[in-house]
């Protein structure tokens, strides 16, 4: 855990997100977007950059700086590939900046490894990786079961599961189960109970740095038939402006921009 927290303290998330997303991303400290009624800013654990603290945590974990500036423990260097999809330029840029900060500030040798989408998830799904930058869609009514319940860990617990973290925590599992089953006499009471469950989940995820969340894309929602917009699968328009094509932006009107 010290190493994961050191990782978090060594990074300047705001500047990374701004640079990688060209200012079109909202920094995240959990997996509930601010636009959701279940979002609770007091529940998430935020790591303001503190390089001295990060170094202290690495020292406490037994990782000392070698002659080449890279941390070492038991004769093994802190070196690994940092996988990222090659077809996602924003993510590639984020990984490059993160790797540079982690090497300079902390002595971690994490090599950016852009990988073709066709093979990117294969080592991740098999559990044969150390670090990867990935993304997934989030809804306004969250559900952490598939991504963070220990019953969904792939491949150890479930061959087709979507939890690739390997993290097991009984308190987290209990909170995830509760948010799916809490049902009270009124809608307001049910909402309040579930929001408390999600607050527990967000705190555990952040405190343990199960995943280092980066940002939510600020996407523009638009109507079908708008000039220059071609909907994707299931008539989805969520990602029409993901690549920040200025020509497309100039030719259509956005309505009710939201963080999704």
Mean pLDDT of 40-56: 97
Q: Are residues 159 and 229 in the same domain?
A: no
29 & 47 share domain: yes
Q: Report the distance separating Cα 220 and Cα 217, nearest Å.
A: 9
Q: Kindly state whether residues 243 and 141 are assigned to the same domain.
A: no
Domain co-membership, 30 together with 75 = yes
Q: Count how many domains the chain has.
A: 2
Top pLDDT among 216 and 60 is at 60
Verify that 127 and 239 share a domain, yes or no. no
Instruction: Return the minimum-mean-pLDDT range out of 1-5, 28-32, 136-140, 217-221.
Output: 217-221
Helices (H) and strands (E) in the chain, counts: 9, 9
Q: What are phi and psi of 35, to 5 degrees?
A: -75, -15
Task: Return the percentage of the chain with pLDDT > 90, whole number.
Answer: 70
| Residue 59 and residue 83 share a domain | yes
The reported pLDDT for the residue numbered 141 is: 87
Range(s) of the domain holding residue 194: 2-218
pTM for the model: 0.84
Q: Are 79 and 49 members of one domain? A: yes
Query: Does 235 score more than 90 pLDDT?
Result: no
Q: Is 256 within a domain?
A: no
Tell me the average pLDDT across 132-146: 88
On whether residue 109 sits in a domain, the answer given is yes
């Amino acid at each position: 855990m010290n190493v994961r927290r050191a990782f978090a303290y060594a990074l300047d998330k705001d500047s990374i997100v701004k640079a990688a997303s060209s200012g079109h991303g909202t920094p995240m400290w959990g997996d509930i977007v601010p636009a959701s009624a279940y979002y609770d800013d007091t529940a998430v654990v935020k790591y303001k950059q503190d390089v001295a603290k990060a170094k202290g945590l690495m020292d406490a974990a037994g990782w000392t700086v070698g002659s080449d500036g890279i941390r070492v423990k038991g004769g093994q260097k802190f070196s690994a590939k940092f996988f990222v999809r090659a077809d996602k330029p924003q993510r590639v840029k984020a990984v490059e900046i993160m790797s540079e900060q982690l090497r300079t500030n902390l002595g971690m040798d994490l090599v950016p490894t852009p990988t073709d989408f066709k093979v990117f998830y294969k080592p991740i799904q098999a559990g044969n990786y150390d670090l990867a930058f990935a993304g997934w869609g989030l809804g306004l009514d969250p559900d952490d079961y598939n991504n963070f319940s220990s019953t969904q860990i792939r491949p150890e617990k479930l061959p087709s599961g979507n939890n690739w973290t390997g993290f097991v925590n009984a308190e987290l599992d209990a909170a995830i189960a509760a948010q799916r089953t809490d049902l009270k006499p009124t809608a307001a009471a049910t909402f309040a109970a579930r929001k408390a469950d999600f607050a527990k989940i967000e705190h555990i995820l952040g405190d343990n740095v199960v995943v280092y969340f980066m940002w939510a894309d600020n996407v523009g929602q638009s109507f079908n038939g708008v000039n220059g917009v071609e909907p994707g699968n299931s008539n989805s328009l969520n990602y029409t402006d993901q690549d920040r094509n200025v020509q497309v932006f100039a030719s259509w009107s956005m309505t009710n921009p939201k963080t999704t």
